[in-house]
Amino acid sequence: MIDVNDVKFKDSYYNLWASIISLTHVDNFVSDEEKAKVTEMIKDLRLDEDRKKSLHSLLESAEKPDFYIDKITIPAHISQLHHFANMIFRIDNFDYKEQKYLDSIQELILKQTNILGALKMIEEDKRIENLRPKEEREGFFGYLIDFFDNTK
């Protein structure tokens, strides 16, 4: 179960919204409608006031979204990125730059969710495998666990 008070969760959540806000600059123009919608969205976020101020400042500066996208670590946040990006892009005139970026986000989501899913499987296998005595570990995951085991 995900602990919403966990630092990794909060950081991923912040980076999701920082990514979304940075995406408003993809077409090199932030419309009044985009600013109004983003400002309204920030008010309702479960973030402390310092992080909300940071998001407001991102709305005024053209930061690269990739910097924040790469720091989204929770699969649920990654899957929300495409939805919110699509919503933000369609507030004003949806142009080819935004479409290209939306396509690249879709590709990124597919890659990251596959990687995160695989890592989650490996972690679960490692947890189960660690319950067995070291001498009885076998197979590929047993090898990986022995390789990365820091208790040697």
Give, as one character, the DSSP assignment of residue 135. Answer: G
**In this model, does residue 108 exceed pLDDT 70?**
yes
pTM across the whole model:
0.69
Q: Give the chain's mean pLDDT.
A: 81
Report pLDDT for 117. Answer: 64
CB 45 within 8 A of CB 106: no
pLDDT-based confidence at residue 97 (cuts at 50, 70, 90): confident
Residue with token string 């602990």: 3
CB 14 within 8 A of CB 51: yes
CA 69 to chain centre: 6
**In this model, does residue 118 exceed pLDDT 70?**
no
CB 145 within 8 A of CB 126: yes
Report pLDDT for 17. Answer: 96
Q: Rounded to the nearest 10 degrees, what angle do helices 32-43 and 49-60 cross at?
A: 170
Residue-wise pLDDT for 34-50, tens only, equals: 999 999 999 999 999 99
Residue-wise pLDDT for 35-90, tens only, equals: 999 999 999 999 999 999 999 999 998 788 989 998 998 878 888 998 899 999 98
Give the Å distances, CA to CA, from 110 to 43, 67, 81, 85, 137.
30, 18, 12, 15, 32
Going by C-alpha positions, the residue among 69, 68, 59, 70 that lies closest to residue 32 is 59
